[in-house]
Homo-oligomer: A and B are copies of this chain.
Amino acid sequence: MSSTAPSSALRIRLMARAGVLSGPTANLAPGFVQANLAILPCDLAYDFLLFCQRNPKPCPLLGVAEAGATSISGLGDDLDIRTDVPRYRVWKKGVLVDELQDVTRIWREDFVTFAIGCSFSFEEALQRAGVPVRHIEEGLNVPMFRSSIATTPSGAFSGPLVVSMRPMIPEDAIKAVQITGRFPSVHGAPVHLGDPEAIGIKDIASPDYGDAVTIRPGEIPVFWACGVTPQAAIGRATPELSITHAPGHMLLTDMLNATLSIQRR
């Protein structure tokens, strides 16, 4: 027998590493967990780790690398944090200063990498259960809003909860609560449904991030905690240097979405 073929997730990582993939990762390597990435100097790592512990819905941690390490235990055997994301954003004191396909040349031994769950995983579960996801149907990015719900601060990290919105009929919203509630490591159950103003959203047609989507008669907006929350908190904390994935350009892991409904040991 020949050796095991690389998983489709590893193939995506290798394509990003080789520089031949620089685009978004939506719909690539179906079934595999995609992760938000946040890379911070280690003097901020404790406060950020505690921010994630205190705000598990927007910041569901999948893994944390050792300081300076370029791999994350449990997320993939052949994984290089510096090269395997198709596009990175580099921030100085909270200001976007660069977009790169490879951050090897700016890598530092004091960098700590956090991999955070992403809604792609639960959207796959929704679609398998026959719950339509509007922004996917319309080929758009999910609409996201800054809510009036405050996160629980930790050190320099704080700010409002950013939520993503998916419109659906009430029957599907009930299914969606049950389905996503089984996936706590990728944002879990919704934080709100119905009246947008109740969580401080003035205009549902004008998202703060992403694209507006059609809301049909009889549908209600359903809101989930969103992985932009920790990114925005990092922006406000103004670390001298930080790196994130570019929106939609995620880290492909070897974890399976199907396993996320089961608590790990």
- Give A residues with C-beta under 8 Å from B: 45-46, 49-50, 52-57, 61, 64, 73-74, 149, 152, 161, 181, 184, 188-189, 191, 225, 262-265
- Cβ of A208 to closest chain B Cβ, rounded Å: 19
Q: Are B53 and A263 in contact (CB under 8 A)?
A: no
Contacts of A181 in B (CB 8 A): 263
Give the residues in chain B near A61, CB-CB below 8 Å. Answer: 53
Top 6 nearest A-B pairs (CB, nearest first) are A46-B46, A188-B263, A184-B263, A49-B49, A57-B265, A53-B61
Q: Which residue of B lies closest to A184 (CB)?
A: B263
With A188-B263, A225-B265, A263-B188 already in contact, the answer to whether A49 and B57 are too (CB < 8 A) is no
Identical copies in the complex: 2
List the B side residues contacting A184 at CB < 8 Å: 184, 263
- Closest B residue to A114 using CB positions: B53
A215 to B4, CA, bound (A): 44
Complex Cα gap A69–B55 (Å)? 20
